[in-house]
Amino acid sequence: MPVFKRYAVPPPEVEKISLKSMKSYAAGWPAVYHSLEHAVGQMSLGNCVKTLFSINQMGGFDCPGCAWPDPDDHRSKIGEYCENGVKAIAEEATEARVTPAFFSKYSLSEMSEWTDYKIGKSGRITHPMYLPPGSDHYCEISWNEAYSIIGKHLKSLSSPDEATFYTSGRTSNEAAFLYQLFVRMYGTNNLPDCSNMCHESSGVALNYTTGIGKGSVTLEDFYITDLIVIVGQNPGTNHPRMLSALQKAKKNGAKIISINPLPEAGLTAFKNPQHVADLLGSATSLCDLFLQVKVNSDVALFKAILIQLLKKEQNNPRSIVDQDFITASTDGYEEFKKDLEAYNYLEQLDLCGITHNQVMEAVELIAARPKMIACWAMGLTQHKNAVDNIQELVNLLLIRGAIGKPGAGTCPVRGHSNVQGDRTMGIYEKPSQGFLDSLAKVFHFTPPQVHGFDTIESIEAMHSGKVKVFIGMGGNFLSATPDTEFTAEALQNCNLTVQISTKLNRSHIIAGKEALILPALGRTEIDIQEAGPQFVSVENSMGIVSSSRGRIEPASQYCMSEPAIVAHLANEVIGTEKGIDWLNLIKDYDKIRELIEASIPGFQDYNKRVRNDGGFYLPNGAREGQYKTTTGKARFTINKNSTIKVKDDEFILMTIRTHDQFNTTIYGMDDRYRGILNARRVVLINGQDIQKLGMQEGDWVDIVQKDDQKTRVASYFKLVAYSIPQGSLGAYFPETNVLVPINSFADKSQTPTSKSIVVKLKPTSFQIQAKK
């Protein structure tokens, strides 16, 4: 059987890296060109028309990419999508096919040497496939045989807790609800999901401080706000449609502060491809102040800003701090204030790398603008002190009274189109007692009460043999998770791994002793069940639930919808003994939505409201000024700076995306906005740090992470001098996920610390040989 190989990459001399200057703006004509290039390069002309004029339209399908919301009212008929949305559609609607003949031709051992890019470009999976014990090739299998194998394994376990059921953010509400219901009726809460690896820290921090693990703003709030603070986020690549909202906010008078270790084109300026004036004229300048912090020094920066804001308040009482809001709607203010007074202002500046003048620029912008929105992504969530990062940012909003009123609030920007909806549907290893009680009342069974395994715990349990069956609903588990070699060993230690997928990925290649690949319909594809064509529903970053209806023919007649796959699986394992006719539910998805309505608050008249243009908003206490915390108020918190210590020859590495990828899906080999072309194995490093190492730009290095347990190495990376603070590094994932220790995760949330890895850089063996 193949194993995960950290060296399974092209020889470094094959990567003919081209370096150009960073782009001065995002989108514009280049975005139009590259969108069309990907669309016509992978889809037929007919499918291009059907998909691009339906994506994110009312009555169309929801983009399988990011979770940025659609406008409530007007939507562009030219195209309510972005460049990376088109790339996501092209990847899903590609004409390339992975057939049984493909698996007969290529062994797992051979494919294990391929890059993630090459694996992904192989195409859509057309048939259920089975990997027998000891085989190096998948073979075709019928759906009934596949379900029988899964049922045999699950029924033979000594405890339901010996299986774990993973979910990616692409899954619809209907599939997610059935999935968690099946798993809990089977008898376990082992429901890890991709939230564990990205925004779990946001959920933990927000639940504690505002009483809801979601953001509090709507898209309309961006148009009336005074100030937008964007922290640890690159919207130009990861959420490009957000740029339109930022442009509108700027034209309405808002100011924007960006806080990030890297300058990004998408926060510098924007040319809206929808506007002829933008395409022909100059770009809209977005960022009014850029604070280039050191990696994982955000708490120190927030404390520096808070210290100066409270100093201004002391000099001019009630000018900064919203005392009425704090008295009526918060608790913990005096404790927070007392703790802040113990911090030395100059030490905070030294920790974050920001000057006094820059801090005061931020303070003046914040002091003059009471309506403030704070946005963030994984730049805040994937650190040891990630929850503290977010809670300190919430402190900043709270002193200004900037939550629960128009134009102000929290905005964690989710990275996948229904990752928030999955959690609403109950995909969570730590369900609330209220949710479990609701399931018990509606379905007349006793759900498991013990918390299940999250993603990290599932990997450890598979590795130790406690979990013997892994089932993944979408995603590329191996490439997405930390400590890739450890995770690969964990998966191969399972008796059975099952991947419900649209496209080939590395998780199919590094599999269990037995393995199944079950081909699913994509978001773009027509879903016909017994009652006729069906639609599913999704929830975006701002809590809007809307319908999604595919437009093109399925990639294969053997592809099944995710709700249908779950229903057949539940029917095989549980049958009707729990009082549910699983197969009857998928004849018409309205029946599934009726069960959701009966089980989950906020879904009254679900089938009626989801058919409305634009869908409907779920209740949001923080948005309405009602804080469902243990105290009934929004909570100030006491937070600490990062405790990571680095030696003189060490760096803090953050993993990042290129402009040509979404999560682990690699669309191409260019990072166009950063000016890095035809390469993925690069390290962004301050030029002075290159000199300090006694190296030169272009040298090949190994990135080495070492702790008490083992040494982890990511090999063959080229040094690229870049605008990044000294002591900080940036490199792309999934190539560098191998460096994230399985036991290094955020306090309270257990999110992997993918944005703060202590590493050293060593000359590669390739370079040493070349010099000889």
Averaged pLDDT in 10-residue chunks for the chain of 772 residues: 55 74 88 81 81 77 81 70 83 94 96 91 97 97 98 98 94 97 98 94 97 96 97 91 93 97 94 81 93 97 98 93 97 97 97 98 97 97 97 98 97 86 96 97 97 98 98 95 95 98 96 98 95 96 93 96 98 93 97 98 97 94 95 97 93 96 91 94 97 95 91 93 98 96 96 97 71 42
Instruction: Determine the pLDDT at residue 767.
Output: 55
**Cα–Cα distance, 243 to 265 (Å, whole number):** 11
Instruction: State the residue range of the domain holding 228.
Output: 200-412
DSSP bridge partners of 18: 677
Tokens representing residue 750 in the block:
């257990």
Contact yes or no for 535/561 (Cβ under 8 A): no
Using a 10 angstrom Cβ sphere, with 0-12 exposed, 13-18 middle and 19 or more buried, the burial of residue 111 is buried
Q: b/e per residue, 265-303, with b = 16+ CB within 10 A?
A: bbbbbbbbbeeeebeeeebbebbbebbbbbbbbbbbbbb
Q: Are residues 213 and 313 in the same domain?
A: yes
Using a 10 angstrom Cβ sphere, with 0-12 exposed, 13-18 middle and 19 or more buried, the burial of residue 634 is buried
Q: Is 671 helix (H, G, I), strand (E, B) or coil?
A: strand
Contact yes or no for 327/760 (Cβ under 8 A): no
CATH label of the domain that carries residue 399? 3.40.228.10
Domain boundary among 589, 612, 635: 612
| Pairing assessment for the beta strands 124-125 and 269-271 based on DSSP bridges | unpaired
H/E element, 139: strand 139-140
Q: b/e per residue, 146-176, with b = 16+ CB within 10 A?
A: bbebbbebbeebeebbbbbbbbbbbbbbbbb
Q: What angle do CA 158, 162, 166 make, to 5 degrees?
A: 150
Q: Tell me, yes or no, whether 490 lies in a domain.
A: yes
SS (H, E, C) 363-413: HHHHHCCCCEEEEECHHHHCCCCHHHHHHHHHHHHHHCCCCCCCCCEEEEC
Q: What angle do CA 711, 717, 719 make, to 5 degrees?
A: 120
Instruction: Determine the pLDDT at residue 772.
Output: 39
Q: Is 719 helix (H, G, I), strand (E, B) or coil?
A: strand
The domain tally of the chain equals 3
Q: Are residues 314 and 444 in the same domain?
A: no
Q: b/e per residue, 714-751, with b = 16+ CB within 10 A?
A: bbbbbbbbbebbebbbbbbbbbbbbbbbbebbbebbbb
CB atoms closer than 10 angstroms to residue 316: 9
Instruction: Determine the pLDDT at residue 9.
Output: 54
Q: Tell me, yes or no, whether 48 lies in a domain.
A: no
Q: What angle do CA 528, 531, 534 make, to 5 degrees?
A: 45
Q: Tell me, yes or no, whether 83 lies in a domain.
A: no
Q: Are residues 305 and 344 in the same domain?
A: yes
Expressed in percent and rounded to 5, the helix, strand and coil fractions of the chain are 35, 20, 45
Q: Residue 262: which of 617, 662, 644, 671 has the closest Cα? A: 671
φ and ψ at 685, to 5 degrees?
Answer: -145, 145
Q: What angle do CA 409, 411, 412 make, to 5 degrees?
A: 145
Q: Are residues 356 and 289 in the same domain?
A: yes
Q: Are residues 443 and 312 in the same domain?
A: no
Q: Tell me, yes or no, whether 59 lies in a domain.
A: no
Q: Are residues 464 and 339 in the same domain?
A: no
User: Would you say how long the chain is, in residues?
Assistant: 772
Q: Residue 666: which of 675, 674, 678, 654 has the closest Cα? A: 678
CA atoms within 13 A on the CB side of 464: 8
Q: Is 207 helix (H, G, I), strand (E, B) or coil?
A: helix
Q: Are residues 508 and 568 in the same domain?
A: yes
Q: Are residues 320 and 377 in the same domain?
A: yes
Q: Tell me, yes or no, whether 70 lies in a domain.
A: no
CB atoms closer than 10 angstroms to residue 230: 28
State the Rg of the chain over Cα: 25
Q: Are residues 507 and 606 in the same domain?
A: yes
Q: Tell me, yes or no, whether 124 lies in a domain.
A: yes
Where do the H-state alpha helices sit in 211-329?
219-224, 235-238, 242-251, 276-280, 298-315, 323-329
Q: Are residues 254 and 401 in the same domain?
A: yes
CATH label of the domain that carries residue 666? 2.40.40.20
Where do the H-state alpha helices sit in 516-616?
562-573, 582-585, 590-599, 606-609
Q: Tell me, yes or no, whether 622 lies in a domain.
A: no
> What's the chain's average pLDDT?
93
DSSP bridge partners of 559: none
Q: Are residues 748 and 710 in the same domain?
A: yes
Q: What angle do CA 500, 503, 505 make, to 5 degrees?
A: 90
Instruction: Determine the pLDDT at residue 16.
Output: 82
Q: Are residues 243 and 388 in the same domain?
A: yes
CB atoms closer than 10 angstroms to residue 16: 9
φ and ψ at 58, to 5 degrees?
Answer: -65, 125
DSSP bridge partners of 560: 520
Contact yes or no for 757/705 (Cβ under 8 A): yes
Using a 10 angstrom Cβ sphere, with 0-12 exposed, 13-18 middle and 19 or more buried, the burial of residue 24 is exposed
CATH label of the domain that carries residue 564? 3.40.50.740
Cis upstream peptide for 734 (omega within 30°): yes
**Cα–Cα distance, 384 to 188 (Å, whole number):** 28
Q: What contacts 765, CB < 8 A, 6 or more positions away?
A: 702, 715
pLDDT digits 0-9 by tens, 75-109: 666 667 788 888 888 888 899 999 999 999 999 99
Q: Tell me, yes or no, whether 50 lies in a domain.
A: no
* Sign of the alpha-carbon dihedral angle for 321, 325, 326, 330: negative
**Cα–Cα distance, 489 to 507 (Å, whole number):** 12
What does DSSP assign to residue 623? Answer: T
Tokens representing residue 755 in the block:
């944005």
Q: What angle do CA 587, 588, 593 make, to 5 degrees?
A: 130
Domain boundary among 412, 446, 470: 412
